[in-house]
Amino acid sequence: MRKEKLQIPSLEEQVVQMEIDKIVATGITPKVTFLTYLKSMIQQVGMRHIFSDRLELGFLITVVAALLAMLIISPFQGQIQDIYSYIFLLSPILFMVLSVSTYLRKTQNNTYEVEMACKYNVYQIIACRMLLFSLLSVVLNTIAIAAVAMQFEGIHFLRAFLLSLTSLFVFSTLLLFALMRRRTSVIVIMTVIGWTFGNLLLQTVNVQVYNDFLLKLNTVVNAIVLLGMVFIYIRCVKKLIQFKQMEGVF
């Protein structure tokens, strides 16, 4: 059997290849995952600066929590079915208040232009805050739904819980869509008004059909819709974080 000769690259070839590999490694920016980018942002900017308006946010959270507590504690005069419609309407309220106040405060700030030129611009900070607000809203909604389920025997906790989270992520996704299409305060406020009056209008036109839809919505279908909305919401947050001021587009 004929043996092939082993060819050993010369020292010069090895040095050239090492230099090529070094240049390629330096020139190619490694792909950063979404979670890694968020972690890096929080570490570099710091929670103290991301939430520089802690007193204002604390006040808003207290007011919203007190409002929800009053609604839960107060005796409900309507039918049990009506509670589900109010859960669907009010579940995004904390996220709504915190996100809208953040957006208005950041975009109307005198330092807006300076902040847009920073490594992490205004919209990236807003996206990070919205993500954290959504997590906070999930926790508060869970506590509120548990309290409602304990107060009213006819309320099914799992159904109410899934309905609450679906409502939260449907609204938050709509708000992010609106924000990415038209980055103005008017469109943000119009989204809030549209959500509120849209739900109230559905209740006014035919409250029985509206309540029956929420009450009879299959739990499995609701869970699938919820997972889909969470997926879309995360994609929207990613797009908002990837906003490039130089290009002016998402």
What is the pLDDT at residue 6?
Answer: 55
What does the pLDDT average to over 143-152?
83
Question: How does pLDDT run across 54-108, given as a tens digit for each residue?
Answer: 777 777 778 777 777 766 666 555 566 677 888 888 888 888 888 888 877 777 7
What is the pLDDT at residue 7?
Answer: 58
Query: Measured between alpha carbons, how far is 213 from 29 in angstroms, rounded to an integer?
Result: 50
Q: Which residue has the higher pLDDT, 132 or 67?
A: 132
Band of residue 22 on the pLDDT scale cut at 50, 70, 90: low
Question: How does pLDDT run across 187-220, given as a tens digit for each residue?
Answer: 878 888 888 888 888 877 777 777 778 877 788 8
How far are the Cα atoms of 24, 27, 135 from residue 30, in angstroms, in the given order? Answer: 11, 9, 29
CA-based end-to-end distance of the chain: 63
What is the pLDDT at residue 188?
Answer: 79
What is the pLDDT at residue 227?
Answer: 92
What does the pLDDT average to over 24-37?
65
